[in-house]
Amino acid sequence: MKLLILNLGSSSIKYQLIKKKQILAKGLIERIGMYGSRIKHTFLKEKIIYKNIYNHFIGLKEINNLLCNCVIINTYEIYAIGHRIVHGGFFFMKPTIISENVKKKIKELFNIAPLHNRINYMGIEISEKIFQKSIQVAVFDTEFHYTIPKKAYLYAIPYEFYLKHYIRSYGFHGISHKYVSKKAIQYLKNKKAKLITMHLGNGSSITAVDSGVSVETSMGFSPNSGLIMGTRSGDIDSNIIFNTLKKGFKIDELIDILNKKSGMLAISGYSDMRDIKKRYDKGDKKAILAYEMYSYRVKKYIGISISVMNGVDALIFTGGIGENDMLMRQLICENLDFFGIKLDNKKNNNLLKNNNVNEIQVKNNKVKILVIKTNEELQISKEILSILNVKK
């Protein structure tokens, strides 16, 4: 039984073809719609294909061609397609087999997650045409956060907004937070561990995980809240929106600005942290400020998470920035000694690449600092097998 997992991000597509936990082929299309887009495809060995990938539709067609040329004879071999869907809203609290009604509900959430749900939906539509015999399954990023208590997920606005319009904090990146928290619990051999999982990438979020359960998270009603991100603003004063509307801005214009023209892009001129790091190393003041602002916001949410759980056993870095940017990890961990968080710079700068889990705290430190490679695709495959009642 072969499962194809599709994970569409705002500027990327990750994919894995999995059979019985074994990855048959995998890949990453990155910088979609930007200069320097490329495909990293791995079957037996990795190859890098430099190609203009103007949109996600072209990306998915390329993935299909690559798989048919190396590991499958035809699309009928793929039993199910797993789709990462960013926002499940009030409708979906567990993985769901996709039907026309499910698609309709996902479309209703476009306005809440404009950068992602529309792209996720497009992935479903294309997959249904290419993989006509495959079962299509939606796995939601919001699912892991439904354990957050009511006192945390409600907003201090009239209750009817929650009852009639389902306005509440939902949280996102749940698939990644769930995967790395399970890995950390297994690694620490402590089911009751208090963890702070930090998924840091083009989209970024922090989750407080107590005994394997999400109890607080930085993202809220939409993926635009919380931390500063590649093109998203993160937390801002709501009156900024009202003030700009009074000055003649249109609603759609503001949505576009806050989701696509803000964050690191607005601060530094670049949305990709790798580009910003190059400018940082050259002493660019905007790049330095971007690093300072990003790490500062992360530190704030670390403090929130510790206070919510009344302690912390491990701090976990994951995601593209969390796993690869040693400078950002250093800046985030600076001046957290009061909480028992002490980074070993030598370990931080020399991760063992073959390790799925790297410890980077100083020797004999009570609070662990872990770098864990996330694998949302593997977690999605587990969710699919669970809902289809198939043995893992």
Q: What is the CATH number of the domain that holds 122?
A: 3.30.420.40
Beta-bridge partners for 198 = 206, 317
| Residue 151: how many other CB atoms lie within 10 Å | 6
Q: What's the CA gap between 267 and 255, in Å, rounded?
A: 18
- If DSSP codes are grouped into helix, strand and coil, which group holds residue 263? helix
Name, in order, each residue with C-beta under 8 angstroms of 11's C-beta and a sequence gap of 6 or more.
30, 31, 32, 33, 34, 202, 230, 271
Q: Stretch 231-235: mean pLDDT, rounded?
A: 96
Asked if 141 is an active-site residue, the reply is yes
> Does residue 163 lie within any of the structural domains?
no
Q: What's the CA gap between 215 and 314, in Å, rounded?
A: 15
Q: What is the pLDDT of residue 20?
A: 83
Q: Which of 329, 321, 212, 236 is nearest to 274 (CA)?
A: 321
Q: Which residue has the higher pLDDT, 8 or 81?
A: 81
Residues 128 and 197 in one domain: no
Residues 105 and 249 in one domain: no
> Does residue 183 lie within any of the structural domains?
no
Q: Stretch 313-331: mean pLDDT, rounded?
A: 98
Residues 136 and 196 in one domain: no
| Residue 304: how many other CB atoms lie within 10 Å | 17
Binding site, annotated residues for Mg(2+): 7, 376
Residues 109 and 200 in one domain: no
Q: What's the CA gap between 263 and 228, in Å, rounded?
A: 5
**271: amino acid identity, one letter:** S
Structural domain containing residue 197: 190-372
User: Any long-range contacts for 330-336 (C-beta under 8 Å, 24+ apart)?
Assistant: 331/291, 331/292, 331/295, 332/198, 332/295, 332/298, 332/299, 332/302, 333/369, 334/295, 335/299, 336/299, 336/302
Angle between helical axes of 326-333 and 273-281 (0-180°, round to 10): 80
pLDDT of 373 over the 90 cut: yes
> Does residue 152 lie within any of the structural domains?
no
Average pLDDT of the chain, as a whole number: 93
> Does residue 359 lie within any of the structural domains?
yes
pTM surpassing 0.85?
A: yes
> Does residue 382 lie within any of the structural domains?
no
**Tens digits of residue pLDDT in 253-295:** 999 999 999 999 999 999 999 999 999 999 999 999 999 999 9
Residue carrying the six token digits 């609290």: 93
Q: Which residue has the higher pLDDT, 12 or 321?
A: 321
Q: What is the pLDDT of residue 141?
A: 94
Q: Stretch 325-345: mean pLDDT, rounded?
A: 97
pLDDT band at 110 (very low <50, low <70, confident <90, very high): confident
Length of the chain: 392
Domain count, the chain: 2
For the chain, percent of residues with pLDDT exceeding 70: 99
- If DSSP codes are grouped into helix, strand and coil, which group holds residue 357? strand
Q: Stretch 53-68: mean pLDDT, rounded?
A: 88
pLDDT band at 130 (very low <50, low <70, confident <90, very high): confident
Binding site, annotated residues for substrate: 84
Q: Stretch 121-140: mean pLDDT, rounded?
A: 91
Residues 135 and 261 in one domain: no
Among 61-75, 140-154, 158-172, the minimum mean pLDDT is found in 61-75
Q: What's the CA gap between 63 and 6, in Å, rounded?
A: 10
Name, in order, each residue with C-beta under 8 angstroms of 331's C-beta and a sequence gap of 6 or more.
291, 292, 295
Residues 203 and 350 in one domain: yes
> Does residue 77 lie within any of the structural domains?
yes
Separation of CA 39 from chain center: 19
Q: How much of the chain is in helix, strand and coil states, percent to nearest 5? A: 40, 20, 35
Residues 278 and 218 in one domain: yes
Q: Which of 37, 8, 10 is nearest to 262 (CA)?
A: 10
Residues 9 and 79 in one domain: yes
> Does residue 215 lie within any of the structural domains?
yes
pLDDT band at 34 (very low <50, low <70, confident <90, very high): confident
> Does residue 378 lie within any of the structural domains?
no
Residues 209 and 296 in one domain: yes
Q: Which helix (H) or strand (E) holds 295?
A: helix 285-309
Span between the terminal Cα atoms of the chain, in Å: 11
Half-sphere exposure for 159 (CA within 13 Å, toward CB): 2
Q: What's the CA gap between 377 and 387, in Å, rounded?
A: 15
- If DSSP codes are grouped into helix, strand and coil, which group holds residue 84? strand
Catalytically annotated residue among 141, 210, 313, 325 = 141
Q: What's the CA gap between 364 and 305, in Å, rounded?
A: 23
**9: amino acid identity, one letter:** G
Binding site, annotated residues for ATP: 14, 199-203, 272-274, 320-324
* Residue after which a domain boundary falls, among 140, 168, 198: 140
Separation of CA 73 from chain center: 32
* Residue after which a domain boundary falls, among 105, 140, 175: 140
Residues 59 and 196 in one domain: no
Q: What is the pLDDT of residue 390?
A: 59
Residues 100 and 194 in one domain: no
Binding site, annotated residues: 7, 14, 84, 199-203, 272-274, 320-324, 376
Q: What is the pLDDT of residue 392?
A: 47
Residues 196 and 340 in one domain: yes
